[in-house]
Amino acid sequence: MLVTSLTGKNKNLFWICMIFIFSVCFNCSSDPQKSLSKLKSEIPDVKEFHITAEDRKIFLVTSGCLKNKNKILIFIHGSPGGWSDYIFYLKDKDLRNTFCILSLDRPGFGLSGIESPVADLQLQARLIRIAIDRFLKDEFVSDLPKLILVGHSYGGPIAAKIAIDISYKKDALFLLSAPMDSQLEEVRWYNRWATYFFVKIFLPKEIINSNDEMIPLKWQLTDWDGIWKFIDFPVISIHGKNDFLVPFENVKYMRKKINPLRFESIELEGENHFVPWTQEKLVKDKILMVNSK
């Protein structure tokens, strides 16, 4: 009842506070190794990899990666986040039967160097692309794998750049609640507050690293204006109309920039920013539908 009675800025502030509280509690109670051990006990073919990309270690978790697969499904999390955001998909029987599934910790999160954040979209995209490429060459039998990339929130523009730059065939790029229009990005009051030392000392490292990414996002996204002409594969945007973190207007930007023959938009009434978890079945079914074409 409280949330439904709030409107406008008050509702946004409420959700921002809830995200902060959740993040602090999650940071105190979660253990990535326990999550991984539990997943391995449930899914025998789950594996973990620490792959060197330039001077960084990128942590990957894989599921369903059998020798006869040539279809790769890659999840790139938002900010903050980690590989375990996509446990539902790593465990899903239909997806595992179809794909070799990869979920990773982006640089600066989880087991990919939390003490050394990388607040740079271009550099993150390059490091993750190198890690994916090395995984495919070193661990995967198929010479001609086909990729589906899924990027949520901050992971969206990173997934887009990887999809353009990586040399393998792309079946689709999924952008879930993704920020793409630099004109829609603003540094908010809580971003500025989180840069102060007397605030940082109370924040988990994941939140500090996330905030460090948000500060330069607006001007870094200006570099993305020129990438869309290189899109020669299907792009599917799934975005909630009530997204209070990444404005729905980003969809209008993508409609202008991406070849309409390549772009599909799924627009969800009443939905918020957390599409990967609130719309698990929709995302899964759409991935399988794209694969069946």
pLDDT in tens, 132-161: 999 998 886 567 789 999 999 999 999 999
How far apart (Å, rounded) are the C-alpha atoms in residues 130 and 80? 22
pLDDT at 194 over 80: no
Query: Which candidate, 81, 71, 35, places its Cα nearest to that of 177?
Result: 81
* Edge-first strand listing for the sheet containing 235-240: 47-53, 56-63, 100-105, 71-76, 146-152, 169-176, 235-240, 263-268
pLDDT in tens, 45-95: 999 999 999 999 999 999 999 877 889 999 999 999 999 999 999 999 999
Where residue 5 falls among pLDDT bands split at 50, 70, 90? very low
Lowest mean pLDDT across 37-46, 67-76, 192-201, 219-228: 192-201
pLDDT in tens, 239-277: 999 999 999 999 999 999 999 999 999 999 999 999 999
pLDDT at 225 over 50: yes
Tokens of residue 172, six digits: 């689709």
Residues paired with residue 56 on neighbouring β-strands, in sequence order: 53
pLDDT at 39 over 90: yes
Where residue 195 falls among pLDDT bands split at 50, 70, 90? low
